[in-house]
Structure 1
Amino acid sequence: MNFTGFTQADFDVFRITGLDERMTALKASIRPKLEFLGEQFSGELSVLAGNEMFSHVAKHARRTVNPPDDTWVAFADNKRGYKKHPHFQIGLWQSHLFIWYAVIDEAPHKAEIGSLLEKKIDYLRKHVPDEFVWSDDHRKPEATKMKDLSNEQLLHLFQRLQSVKKSEILCGVHLPREEAVQLSGPQLVEFIHEAFVKLIPLYKLS
């Protein structure tokens, strides 16, 4: 496809009421673009990560009533799924585009990853840009910039990953929709590539 980036209409899909209506619009406008990005970056991430990465576009198949508030394509070194593995995501909320490195609640090795990150605060300060954001819940759009987190707050995130069953850790970029829609397809691909390059050290740690 001729990827032209995301439009205001893409972000406005999340304003459509009704599960069927929103899913119809999402499948028509956003999903083809996520599939393109999946093909584009599965190879790139395989090179960056040093092992084969597979793309997984969110299907939202379990939903029966509530329409999705966000959607994404994920990348993991497992062909069957991504939720149990450290992975990457590109996706949209109504308010912004996100690019994540993620360890979510279904990952069985969360505690080991949290313990490792806990010992690498100085390394993370050096390698994660100040403007990158952290989150402890992929189901919420909010996140906090690296520069606004103290070492103690980072430690709390990593210790929580070790002790709380539903805990998660995500690190990456939020691009407000107003800025995302200004980027052409090639510009957005380059932006995402640069974000992944900066997130690879975090992935390799885990």
Structure 2
Amino acid sequence: MSFTGFNNEDFNVFTIEGLDERMDTLKTTIRPKLEELGGMFAPFLSVETGDEMHPHVAKHARRTKNPPSDTWVAFASNSRGYKMLPHFQIGLWETHLFIWFAVIYEAPNKVELGGRLEADIDRIYNDTPKDYMWSLDHTKPASTPHGDLSKKDLQNMFSRLQNVKKAEILCGINIPRDEAVHMAADEFIAQTEAVFKKLLPLYKLA
């Protein structure tokens, strides 16, 4: 295993001014690690989900002016893309790492998924660990701990997925930067596997 974990240099990429400058450093520091994680977790997720999963490392190719404020590797059952499908992500902002199950605004079956989530709300509410996070926008770092949500809050999120065209839903964990830089590689891999297993029921519903 050549993955060595994340360090402060990786997180500091997001403080570099200028699109070209930030992208150049991102390509040499973070991207190789995300590619390694992609190769490592695609087979794991293929076994766990029963679907052949493909890694997609963010290229940020459409950007012409604003440098990326986060980056990730996504895993989906299509080799050509992931945004239209329920998928898993590993990535980082300047402040934290994230490990997500995600359905973002491009997914065409959000109405159906929102209905399934709503129908299974009791189990989801009871089985999701209190320190897991929910997000309604993958482009922003903010998220809400499950332990802070009422069942009604969760229901509103699932309803929004059915009724708002640009709605998204993500669930998983954040690992603060200070904690992430001190995690050994095998510790991070073990935690990621555990999180993906915990998120599997959401993927199965989707």
The answer, yes or no, to whether TM exceeds 0.5 is yes
Contact 1:127 1:201 in 2 (8 A): no
Partner SS, residue 182 of structure 1: coil
User: Which residue of the partner structure matches residue 99 of structure 1?
Assistant: 99
Letter in 2 for 1:43: P
Q: Structure 1: which 5+ residue stretches go unaligned?
A: none
Q: How many residues align?
A: 206
Q: 2: CA distance between counterparts of 1:105 and 1:125?
A: 23
Matches within 5 A, 1:125-140: 125-140=125-140
User: Which residue of the partner structure matches residue 108 of structure 1?
Assistant: 108
| 1:200 Cα deviation from its structure 2 partner | 0.6
After superposition, the CA RMSD in angstroms is 0.8
Normalised to the residue count of structure 1, the TM-score between the two structures is: 0.98
Q: Does 1:149 align with 2:149?
A: yes
Matches within 5 A, 1:1-206: 2-206=2-206
Letter in 2 for 1:167: A
Q: 2: CA distance between counterparts of 1:121 and 1:158?
A: 9
Q: 2: CA distance between counterparts of 1:4 and 1:88?
A: 21
Letter in 1 for 2:6: F
Partner SS, residue 98 of structure 2: strand
- Cα offsets for 1:13-64 (capped at 9, x unmatched): 0000000000001000000000000000000000110111000000000000
Q: 2: CA distance between counterparts of 1:194 and 1:29?
A: 26
Q: 2: CA distance between counterparts of 1:80 and 1:52?
A: 13
Q: 2: CA distance between counterparts of 1:183 and 1:4?
A: 10
Report sequence identity in percent: 58
Q: 2: CA distance between counterparts of 1:155 and 1:137?
A: 17
Letter in 2 for 1:181: V
| 1:125 Cα deviation from its structure 2 partner | 2.1
Q: Please list every run of at least 4 consecutive aligned residues from structure 1 whose deviation after the TM superposition is greater than 4 angstroms.
A: none
| 1:126 Cα deviation from its structure 2 partner | 3.0
Normalised to the residue count of structure 2, the TM-score between the two structures is: 0.98
Q: 1: CA distance between counterparts of 2:127 and 2:46?
A: 20
Q: 1: CA distance between counterparts of 2:128 and 2:119?
A: 15
Partner SS, residue 67 of structure 2: coil
